[in-house]
């Protein structure tokens, strides 16, 4: 046993997860026997792969013998004959209304291997490609890399699946996944999310829908070629695209759904392809079962993506041994997670409106492929409905949602083919899942002018003139704060569909840690900072968590005849002095077209700074200690000074625009802010 524990510790050090593993154990004071089993299972799986390769060679994992051992068939022809992929009918027809012109335009780009992912801009991804670089960093192309083109036509141009096509950094596809760090300080500007995102293969669904629309075989052929390309150049267990189980689960699900959409094409008559596909699907299956991102202290969207991937394979490939058992087991796991990962009022527990969308998709599509068998419980469906209600109540009239917490632009299946900022397609999905009576409730929710989510700490007021959201929620992830920001008591204000005071977004995670911390800092939100202290202290070298200094948040939101009132507080600064409880009162008067905000502390010694973030194109001037924003006047009482500086904003992951302004209003004990809106 001691030898096994030492081996696990060494494996954590090698894989770069020791710090986060130890942090969670110390924070939650919990490490169960199941934690040990999950970690040891991954460790044993890695050893088994390496040992098999040493004794039998990598070719074994692509042999008929390997595949048949995973099935109940004695010969490969019988297995292929009984695959029945042409009879898969998990998804209803025409879930979403599609823009045919956009669909075909996107498909043509994907056929030529042009991708625009995570702020890359439209680039053709291939071996030896030159990159534009990011923040002044650009790695030279590895010209010697050519890739494996077996079973592909001569005119097919290989995709480089292992390159960050923003910075140009390229991971070695011949390094075992257990030896690859997802974040390495020595690889400045590199972002492993870029090859991960491309290898999710979500664009294959666009190709599939284009085939369905036009009947043009080139789109279905391209799906086949890209899957073969991926299999050829991402050997089982090697390279960056086997590092993160979440992405393995999302990739295999997208393959399966794309192939269902093109089930009447000639692609599914290609026995060589079906054999290759089946082998790789089982690689994904075996990997996911042995690399679950689970621990007793915290499960998140990562673990959910893992088990949804297993659930999809178990449904689409009942021919594998244990598929029936795993379908039931992981359906039950998905059920458990919806109650662990969402609040009673429906929001995802990670403190992020955009991660809410990702998690909602994972839960909703799992239910959708099970609709005929109807195995999910009524309680599961009720909680899922509340998740849709949360989306309905925060969405803006243009289909976008306010950015709260992290935004990595993540989705599960790109069946709607919309802009990633457009969340309105979720209600088309809801219509396929719920009864007309329930769907009518969602439609009414879209028209409601106020909503209060006490568990999530989010309160919204919507009218034809303003959109106002105030956030005072938990850190998320049971206090870990992995995807939440220091935005307690922060608010977002739109007036007549114009963004006045904004949340600037996320930008990046690991390539530039300082930028990561800037965008999630208190000073990047419309709230108050005491001195230079964060509401929740950051943890050195840990970009996906923060100390839980804000442990007591209080909110009271009331609708009045003339608008609304809000009062809230948090104790994040109490660690500095017991008098540093931030209290904020807000009053909106519709008749006066004004908002009054009062920020107060009992302590008057330390200087406080109210930060407001707005766009340059609406900022006019600071005059007589007043701020003017395109017809909006903001004045203050009890201020010391106002300072202004240019500031970045990020509407989606990887995109940074120097289009905003940060306003810093200094005060001591209390500050009154008066926002006068044009009528």
Residue written as tokens 């695959």?
83
Provide the token pair at 162.
């292992």
Q: Is 244 helix (H, G, I), strand (E, B) or coil?
A: coil
Q: Would you list the DSSP string of 267-324?
A: GGG-HHHHHHHHHHHHHHHHHHHHS----SS---HHHHHHHHHHHHHHHH-TTBTTHH
Per-residue confidence (pLDDT) for residue 84, from 0 to 100: 87
Q: Among candidates 163, 169, 150, which has minimal Cα distance to 115?
A: 163
Residue-level pLDDT at 184: 85
| Residues forming beta bridges with residue 674, ordered by sequence position | 596, 635
- φ, ψ of residue 599 to 5 degrees: the values are -105, 130
CB atoms within 10 A of CB 280: 21
**Main-chain dihedrals φ then ψ at residue 379, nearest 5 degrees:** -65, -35
Pairing between β-strand 632-637 and β-strand 641-649 as defined by DSSP bridges: unpaired
Residue with tokens 């923060």, as numbered in its chain: 546
As a whole number of angstroms, the distance between CA 395 and CA 432 comes to 20
Q: Are 358 and 315 in contact (CB under 8 A)?
A: no
Distances (CA, A) of 38 to 41, 42, 382, 384: 5, 6, 31, 28
Residues (pLDDT < 70) of the chain are 1-31
- Pair type for strands 608-615 and 619-623: unpaired
The predicted pLDDT at position 15 comes to 55
**671, HSE (Cβ side, Cα atoms, 13 Å):** 24
565-to-27, 404, 568, 599 alpha-carbon distances in Å? 37, 21, 10, 14
Start-to-end C-alpha separation, the chain? 72
Strand partners, 566: 557, 586
Residue 564 CA to residue 468 CA, distance in Å, equals 10
Q: The pTM is what?
A: 0.95
Instruction: Supply 544's token pair.
Output: 């996906």
Residue 289 CA: distances (Å) to CA of 196, 285, 311, 326, 494: 19, 6, 11, 9, 46
CB 149 within 8 A of CB 126: no
Q: Which 8-state DSSP code applies to residue 137?
A: B
**Domain limits, CATH 1.50.10.100, in the chain:** 70-440
Residue 8: what pLDDT?
47
Q: According to the CATH classification, is domain 70-440 in 3.40.50.2300?
A: no
SS3 string, 531-589, reads CCECCCCEECCEEEEECCCCCCEEEEEEEECCEEEEEEEECCCCCCCCCCCEEEEEEEE
pLDDT of residue 28: 55
CA distances from 378 to 128, 191, 258 (A): 53, 41, 29
Query: CB burial class (10 A; 0-12, 13-18, 19+) of residue 378?
Result: exposed
Please tell me what DSSP assigns to residue 142: -
Q: Which residues contact 391 (CB under 8 A, 6 or more apart)?
A: 356, 357, 360, 401, 423, 426, 427
Residue ranges, comma separated, of all CATH 2.70.98.70 domains in the chain are 450-676
CATH 2.70.98.70 fits 450-676, yes or no: yes
Rounded Cα gap, residues 390 and 69, in angstroms: 46
Assigned token pair, 296: 């007793």
Compute the distance between CA of residue 584 and CA of residue 555 in angstroms, rounded to an integer: 9
Which positions ≥6 away from 86 have C-beta within 8 Å?
263, 264, 268
Q: Which tokens belong to 5?
A: 């524990």
Provide CB contacts within 8 A for 464, sequence distance 6+. Answer: none
DSSP 375-412: -S-HHHHHHHHHHHHHHHHH--TTS-----S------S
At 564, list the tokens. Answer: 């609304």
Q: Is 539 helix (H, G, I), strand (E, B) or coil?
A: strand
DSSP class of residue 524 equals G
Position 452 scores a pLDDT of 97
Angle at 542 (CA atoms; ends 539, 544), nearest 5 degrees: 110
Structure tokens at 651: 């509407």
Q: How many CB atoms lie within 10 A of CB 251?
A: 25
| Burial of residue 26 (number of CB atoms within 10 Å: 0-12, 13-18, 19+) | exposed
């Amino acid at each position: 046993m001691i030898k096994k524990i030492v081996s696990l510790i060494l494996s954590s050090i090698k894989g770069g997860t020791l710090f986060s593993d130890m942090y969670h154990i110390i924070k939650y004071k919990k490490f169960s026997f199941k934690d040990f089993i999950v970690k040891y299972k991954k460790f044993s799986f890695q050893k088994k792969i390496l040992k098999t390769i040493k004794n039998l060679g990598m070719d074994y994992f692509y042999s008929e013998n390997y595949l048949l051992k995973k099935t109940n068939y004695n010969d490969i022809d019988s297995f292929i004959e009984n695959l029945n992929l042409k009879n898969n009918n998990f998804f209803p027809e025409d879930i979403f209304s599609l823009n045919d012109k956009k669909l075909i335009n996107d498909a043509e780009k994907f056929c030529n291997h042009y991708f625009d992912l995570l702020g890359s801009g439209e680039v053709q991804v291939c071996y030896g490609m030159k990159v534009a670089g990011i923040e002044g960093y650009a790695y030279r192309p590895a010209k010697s890399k050519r890739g494996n083109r077996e079973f592909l036509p001569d005119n097919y141009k290989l995709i480089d699946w292992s390159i960050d096509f923003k910075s140009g950094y390229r991971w070695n596809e011949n390094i075992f996944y257990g030896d690859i760090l997802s974040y390495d300080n020595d690889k400045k500007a590199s972002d492993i999310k870029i090859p991960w995102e491309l290898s999710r293969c979500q664009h294959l669904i666009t190709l599939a829908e284009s085939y369905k629309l036009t009947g043009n075989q080139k789109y279905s052929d391209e799906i086949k070629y890209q899957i073969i390309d991926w299999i050829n150049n991402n050997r089982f267990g090697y390279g960056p695209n086997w590092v993160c189980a979440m992405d393995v689960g999302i990739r295999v699900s997208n393959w399966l759904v794309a192939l269902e959409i093109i089930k009447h094409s000639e692609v599914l008559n290609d026995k060589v392809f079906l054999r290759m596909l089946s082998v790789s699907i089982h690689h994904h299956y075996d990997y996911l079962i042995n690399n679950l991102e689970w621990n007793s202290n915290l499960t998140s969207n990562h673990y959910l993506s893992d088990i949804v991937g297993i659930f999809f394979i178990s449904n689409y490939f009942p021919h594998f041994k244990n598929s029936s058992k795993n379908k039931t087991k992981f359906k039950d796991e998905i059920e458990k997670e919806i109650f662990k990962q969402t609040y009673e009022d429906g929001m995802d527990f990670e403190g992020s409106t955009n991660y809410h969308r990702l998690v909602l998709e994972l839960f909703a599509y799992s239910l959708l492929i099970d609709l005929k068998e109807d195995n999910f419980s009524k309680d599961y469906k009720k909680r899922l409905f509340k998740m849709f209600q949360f989306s309905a109540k925060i969405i803006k009239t243009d289909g976008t949602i306010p950015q709260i917490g992290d935004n990595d632009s993540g989705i599960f299946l790109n069946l709607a083919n919309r802009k990633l900022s457009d969340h309105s397609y979720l209600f088309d999905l809801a219509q396929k899942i719920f009864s007309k009576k329930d769907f009518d409730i969602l439609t009414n929710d879209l028209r409601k002018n106020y909503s209060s989510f006490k568990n999530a700490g989010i309160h919204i007021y919507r009218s034809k003139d303003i959109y106002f959201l105030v956030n005072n929620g938990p850190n998320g992830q049971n206090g870990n704060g992995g995807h939440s920001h220091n935005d307690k008591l922060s608010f977002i204000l739109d007036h007549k569909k114009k963004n006045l005071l904004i949340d600037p977004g996320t930008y990046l995670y690991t390539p530039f840690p300082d930028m990561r911390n800037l965008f999630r800092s208190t000073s990047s939100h419309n709230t108050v900072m005491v001195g230079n202290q964060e509401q929740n202290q950051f943890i050195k070298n840990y970009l996906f968590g923060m100390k839980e200094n804000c442990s007591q948040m209080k909110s009271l939101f009331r609708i009045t005849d003339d608008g609304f009132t809000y009062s809230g507080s948090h104790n994040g600064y109490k660690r500095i002095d017991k008098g540093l409880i931030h209290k904020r009162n807000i009053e909106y008067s519709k008749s006066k077209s004004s908002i009054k905000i009062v920020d107060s502390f009992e302590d008057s010694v330390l200087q406080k700074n109210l930060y407001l973030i707005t766009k340059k194109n609406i900022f006019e001037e600071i005059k007589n200690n007043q701020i003017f924003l395109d017809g909006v006047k903001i004045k203050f009482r009890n201020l010391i000074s106002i300072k202004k500086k240019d500031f970045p904003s990020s509407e989606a992951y990887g995109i940074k625009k120097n289009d905003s302004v940060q306003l810093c209003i200094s005060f001591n004990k209390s500050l009154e802010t008066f926002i006068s809106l044009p009528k």
